[in-house]
Amino acid sequence: MIDSAPDGYLMEHQALAVLAAYGLPVPASRLCLNADEAAAFADEVGYPAVLRVVSPQIVHKWDVGGVVLNLPDAQAVRRAYDDMLHRIARRLPDADIRGVLVRREIPSGYELILGAKRDAVFGPTLMFGLGGIYVELFADVTFGLAPIGCAGASRMVQQVKAHRLLEGARGGPAADVPGIIDCLMRVGQLVSDFERIAELDVNPLIAGPAATGNAVADVRIRLGSLAAQV
């Protein structure tokens, strides 16, 4: 998939497939081409359901109304599917809509970011910290070199101020920290194996308690040409 893709961002269903191939916790999802197909898959995986538009021209889905959350049943999924496509057609009439990604809504948890970028000097570097809206607000992130082992990934998790939250500070629920460390290692291996991956952001990774585990809520993978990176 990576070798055959053009430069630029992989579409979301492709990026999720890449992460799943490397063993990251990617919830079951499907690229659906019409409202009935979306409702049928939502019936299969359960509710509440989430819809996310898939288009090579749309990287920031929230900005164009390309994400709908908390859909309780098949009727709501069908209505939201059609409404989303009409809304986007008005805002971006030239966008190439490939379909809508459907999945079950991920239970709430700590929002984390796992990032990677290919540096001209150091090669693939990793970033870890609080994700979602907190990335820019608190800038509580740390960095490491890829690939990374268990000890190095553990240090990255412990170096952010938010690690106390993940361990259950003030009586809060502890997150699946070993699972977070495992995700960092897998992302590090992925970007080390494929030199075309110029940037990768899992944001957010929803970190739940050990009984629930972690789940990839959103991912972006940008590919570059090997010639441009030499």
What mean pLDDT value characterizes the chain? 93
Rounded to an integer, what distance in angstroms lies between the CA atom of residue 51 and that of residue 34?
Answer: 12
Spell out the domains of the chain, with CATH numbers in brackets. Answer: 28-104 (3.30.1490.20), 110-229 (3.30.470.20)
Tokens 């939250």, located at residue: 165
Rounded to an integer, what distance in angstroms lies between the CA atom of residue 210 and that of residue 174?
Answer: 8
**230 Cβ contact list (under 8 Å, min separation 6):** none
Tokens 């995986």, located at residue: 45
pLDDT tens digit sequence for 150-205: 999 999 999 998 888 898 877 778 999 999 999 999 999 999 999 999 999 999 99
Q: Provide mean pLDDT across the span 27-48.
A: 98
